[in-house]
């Protein structure tokens, strides 16, 4: 599959934090659109009574199958493991931003 075609169908797995501090994991083609749907009450039944939701983690550039497998793996994690995953990703992204600004 060409890089251009893959980019058009790039899936993401994401974790949102609900207003009650619970974590919800899902997959989407457009995470921004999916978060907006959650916050409009059109997302998953789980999040409807726990609004608003805030994006805490996103892994993009996956095929649909990869995203679904990653979602399943994340859902099997404990809350503490999910929080660790979120923090590791946040620290990684901060490191990348620092490297870009120091060039």
pLDDT digits (tens, 9 = 90+) for 62-93: 999 999 999 999 999 999 999 999 999 999 88
Question: Structural domain of residue 33, as residue ranges?
Answer: 3-101
Q: What is the CATH number of the domain that holds 30?
A: 3.40.1440
Say how many domains are in the chain: 1
Residue among 62, 58, 57, 59 nearest 10 (CA) = 62
pLDDT digits (tens, 9 = 90+) for 37-60: 999 999 999 999 999 999 999 999
pTM for this model (two decimals): 0.84
The pLDDT assigned to 95 comes to 86
Residues 103, 6: Cα–Cα separation, whole Å? 30
């Amino acid at each position: 599959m060409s890089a251009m075609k893959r980019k058009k169908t790039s899936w993401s797995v994401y974790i949102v934090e609900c207003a009650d501090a619970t974590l919800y994991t899902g997959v989407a083609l457009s995470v921004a659109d999916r978060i907006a749907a959650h916050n409009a009450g059109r997302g998953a039944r789980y999040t409807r009574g726990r609004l608003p939701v805030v994006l805490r983690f996103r892994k993009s550039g996956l095929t649909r199958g990869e995203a679904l497998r990653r979602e399943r793996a994340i859902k099997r994690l404990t809350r503490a493991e999910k929080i660790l995953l979120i923090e590791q990703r946040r620290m990684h992204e901060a490191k990348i931003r620092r490297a870009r600004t120091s060039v």
